[in-house]
Structure 1
Amino acid sequence: MAKTATDVRGEMSKFWQEHSTRANLTEMMLDSKADEISDIESEEILSAVPDYAGKNILELGAGIGRFTSKLSANAKSVIAVDFMEKFVQKNKEVNSHRGNITFLCNNVMDLQIADDSLDLIFSNWLLMYLSDSDIEILIKRMLKWLKPNGKLFFRESCFKQSGDKVRSHNPTIYRSPSWYTNLITTRAQDKSDGKTYGFDVVLSKAVQVYIQMKNNPNQICWLMELSERDPSNSQGFETFQKFLDQKQYSRNGILRYEEMFGRDYVSTGGHGTTKEFVKMLNLKKGERVLDVGCGIGGSAFHMARDYGAEVLGIDLSENMIDIAIERQAEYRVPKVSFEVADATKVTYPECSFDVVYSRDTILHIDRKDLLFQSFYKWLKPGGRVLITDYVCGPHENHSSDFKSYVAQRGYHLLTVPQYGKVLEDAGFKNVQAIDKTTSFVDILRNELVTFGQKKSGFLEKFSLEDFDAINAGWNDKLKRCGMGDQKWGLFYAEKA
């Protein structure tokens, strides 16, 4: 018989009563290396949380207060909640001198919080101790508690146990990262302003300290934003990420694209164009690169292997990042990491990167001006940006087929000069905006020939329908380019 939510609550209470007798760090983290890990790990965790100065925060599963002390140092108020009395007592001992903390010994499922009263909900290891049904109830409540554009940060152990502390019984529920993402982003709630809101993923990534110190990639954290739901902006899906992962970039769709572009690539020209364009950057060993729309990792691996760059690859498609992480586990390329992130919502410290690199991705983004302003801010002085992207022809009378294609894909296309002007307006200097459509057409034709030669091998992995769909897609691109509707641009710019 399946366990009820009440059963799970009882098991978790018993489990934590056993592991809270001393109320110390080792007990709370369930790890013998807790003292060694904690400071480094907490710094990494908080680096993923947006500025919370002057904000109202709800901290769930606060434990003995290792995050409470840091959150309360800058927040307007913190409600620190845990259901183990000894943990709450310890938190009070350490942090009661601050006047902005409310300490609650309570089960999170019994909380009463005013609607639209919170800026940030923070939890570190909580949902893995709740039943599926309780998580769903809690998420709906969070949607009410948070203000519009408020943030939800949470971190969980996924797939299997991480801490090495001996446990006579372990009722913890180890889920996949995609389980959490799918559940949380598909729930919506009407609010007092008459609008419907849900959670959008800002960031999802593995905790690097656990990878480095314990070879454990299964500690995952998320940052989500409470956003207004407008299906017209997401092609009829709950979120734009859902549109990408369930329609345009399904896992099967990505892998069949890879057959056309070459191992590890899902962008025009594969490794050949990557070598050509990266060479323009004059990368030096140790330079930091942000690869926006990194796909399944080909460009990131190339920049790290051939130039010694340190590369952070981000993509909103969870399917893309899953494959990139699988490849990194296989290759073990130094100084390469991948994160699910929305480039329009995520933030990085100013002057963090030497290069921003992006291949055929920004076509999805409407407010390119705001994105390029972020790029400018994130780059160090003298930093470079290199982008290739789909663009449109300068004439106004685009064909109905082209307009339908753009609408179906949710693209936002500019002309080559318009694209360059947006970069200039963001503050960039030495902007080069180059029409590469002739090269694009040559590449498409070569890819079609090579793909035809690989047909028998392709059909061992995929269907004839898949083969025909890719062939048709490439021929459609050639047709649109021939009519002057679709073009391909290369853009380079520098920060002064």
Structure 2
Amino acid sequence: MRKFWEQYDPTPKSMMLCSAANDVLEVEDRVQVLKTCPPLNGKSVLELGAGIGRFTTELAKVSRNVTAVDFIPAYVEQNKKTNGHFGNVKFLAADVTELELPRKSFDVIFSNWLLMYLDDVEVNNLIIKLLSWVKDGGYLFVRESCYRPSGDVKRDTNPTYYRSSDEYFRCLRGSTYSDHLGQDYVFTCQRAISMEAYIRHYGNPFQLGFVLQKMSHAADSYDSFQAFLDGSQYTEEGIRRYEFIFGKTYVSTGGQTTTQQFVKKLNLKPTDAVLDVGCGIGGSAFHMAREFGVKVHGVDLSTNMINMAIKYQGDMEEAVRKNVSFEMRDITKADFEENSFDVIYSRDTILHIGDKEALFSQFFKWLKPGGKLMISDYCHGDKEEYSTEYTNYVHQRGYHMLKVVDYGHLLETVGFKNVDAQDLTSTFIDILNTEAKRFVSQKEEFLTRFSLQDFEYILEGWNAKVRRCSAGDQAWGLFIAEKPL
């Protein structure tokens, strides 16, 4: 590895292995990486794989102190020349796999293109060290190239491990550190996002940044909602089963058909920016980008959903690849800039969220004046007393649902105007019956991929939805609203 890096001059082009690195790409990439990082102001930062200091300069400007580490002495010297005037930077020439530092010394650990040059054993061992070096509640930022090379600089050899996004989720969250008191700690993933600069310039969604937080094992996310999604309702196998019914890239009612019908109502323009909340595996985002030329940013809490969405994006035509981006994030903890989007769109997702008023207030803030909101969602039926089957179903799933009319009133309460709250339950029943009929006709094909138990589980789920809706317990609503000019 040392021989590999010693052949390159200490320049941005060499650090990025990209001929365009001295141009717009380098600046745009650096800006987004720093924007994705956890809070740095006044923090103690450990920068691993610092190279010639592309990021050291910016880290030093805002952090209390920075320890910049790289294992190529020439790069460390160049970093010193560039950033030695900062009084809060310490420079170390060291191999991170052999580095030893005091426990709980740093608020944030930052690395850009480091783990891809370590094998699996080295990565796992390093993660345990990082857990010991960062303070309790502190953060780790990791940016890596996934799946394939992203640069165009010719290389005679390439000692890089191009892991999948799923492999990074597993290895970053899969190690446990036990301190001297016997307390176990893990990293939990707060955010993962494709770097916009590489999408915009190359249509490459495989440059990913991960934000993780150190938490005690007892307080981590194993019993969280995200764990429920990834480990129960939306395992990769479970998503594939839904795709069989709804169509490739879709996991919501009606698949491509309802997406076309609903999106048509938005009158999208090529200049529009869309936020897709609960984007799943990307079906609606790809449709909007392809048919209307809009830019779509999809957010979902499920790592399995985002992994699959990003892989699908990599297979799309260039125009779609360059107009779509995906992010793993809890939308209730997101904070986009005010007036960022022309449209916010969500399909059958917000039933998972308890404090809808707070979320809708954020939607209102993020939309531009005159912007549109479109949501489809599961709702309570318009009756006073519900069946035991239905109440058990809602409780078991942990859903937070409203009646259609109350949903509409809540949107008005936070400031939306021209709210159109439509009860589409009869349409929902028709779609469910059509999907179930088609599913039964495809039983033999389904059983070549999945089990009989899977078939029976899905069919009963569809039949149960029809029963609940027909009895007036469950409803399906479509909500369209506008932010006033």
Query: Where do residues 372-383 of structure 1 align in structure 2 (5 Å cutoff)?
Result: 372-383=360-371
More deviation, 163-172/468-477: 163-172
| Secondary structure of the structure 1 residue equivalent to 2:332 | coil
How far did residue 141 of structure 1 move?
Answer: 3.7
How far did residue 168 of structure 1 move?
Answer: 5.4
Query: Where do residues 69-218 of structure 1 align in structure 2 (5 Å cutoff)?
Result: 69-109=57-97, 110-115=99-104, 118-147=106-135, 150-167=138-155, 169-188=157-176, 198-211=186-199, 213=201, 216-218=204-206
| RMSD of aligned residue pairs (Cα, Å) | 3.2
Contact residue 251 and residue 319 of structure 1 kept, 8 A: yes
Aligned mate of 1:245, from 208, 230, 237 = 230
Measure, in 2, the Cα distance between the counterparts of 1:227 and 1:376.
Answer: 32
Query: Given the superposition, is the C-alpha separation of residues 121 and 238 from structure 1 closer, same or farther in structure 2, using an over 3 Å criterion?
Result: farther
Contact residue 425 and residue 475 of structure 2 kept, 8 A: yes
Query: Where do residues 331-480 of structure 1 align in structure 2 (5 Å cutoff)?
Result: 331-332=316-317, 333-334=319-320, 335-342=322-329, 343-393=331-381, 398-480=386-468
**Letter aligned with residue 14 of structure 2:** E
**Letter aligned with residue 486 of structure 1:** Q
Residue in 2 aligned with 1:25? 12
Measure, in 1, the Cα distance between the counterparts of 2:131 and 2:70.
Answer: 20
How far did residue 197 of structure 1 move?
Answer: 5.5
| Secondary structure of the structure 2 residue equivalent to 1:224 | strand
Residue in 1 aligned with 2:27? 39
How far did residue 448 of structure 1 move?
Answer: 1.9
How far did residue 82 of structure 1 move?
Answer: 1.8
Unaligned runs of 5+ in 2: none
The alignment's TM-score, normalised by the length of structure 1, stands at 0.84
2:37 is the counterpart of 1:49: yes
Contact residue 300 and residue 336 of structure 1 kept, 8 A: no
Query: Given the superposition, is the C-alpha separation of residues 398 and 227 from structure 1 closer, same or farther in structure 2, using an over 3 Å criterion?
Result: farther
2:275 is the counterpart of 1:280: no
Contact residue 58 and residue 121 of structure 1 kept, 8 A: yes
Measure, in 2, the Cα distance between the counterparts of 1:222 and 1:350.
Answer: 24
The alignment's TM-score, normalised by the length of structure 2, stands at 0.86
Aligned mate of 1:320, from 282, 285, 305 = 305
Query: Given the superposition, is the C-alpha separation of residues 380 and 197 from structure 1 closer, same or farther in structure 2, using an over 3 Å criterion?
Result: farther
Measure, in 2, the Cα distance between the counterparts of 1:201 and 1:207.
Answer: 17
Query: Given the superposition, is the C-alpha separation of residues 442 and 209 from structure 1 closer, same or farther in structure 2, using an over 3 Å criterion?
Result: same
Q: Deviations over 1:66-92 (max 9, x none)?
A: 111122222333222222222222112
2:284 is the counterpart of 1:296: no
Measure, in 1, the Cα distance between the counterparts of 2:362 and 2:294.
Answer: 21
Contact residue 159 and residue 218 of structure 1 kept, 8 A: yes
Query: Given the superposition, is the C-alpha separation of residues 356 and 188 from structure 1 closer, same or farther in structure 2, using an over 3 Å criterion?
Result: farther
Query: Given the superposition, is the C-alpha separation of residues 141 and 28 from structure 1 closer, same or farther in structure 2, using an over 3 Å criterion?
Result: same
Alignment: residue pair count: 479
Query: Given the superposition, is the C-alpha separation of residues 74 and 324 from structure 1 closer, same or farther in structure 2, using an over 3 Å criterion?
Result: same
Contact residue 416 and residue 482 of structure 2 kept, 8 A: yes
Query: Given the superposition, is the C-alpha separation of residues 156 and 328 from structure 1 closer, same or farther in structure 2, using an over 3 Å criterion?
Result: closer
How far did residue 424 of structure 1 move?
Answer: 4.1
Residue in 2 aligned with 1:6? none
How far did residue 329 of structure 1 move?
Answer: 4.1
Measure, in 1, the Cα distance between the counterparts of 2:357 and 2:110.
Answer: 31
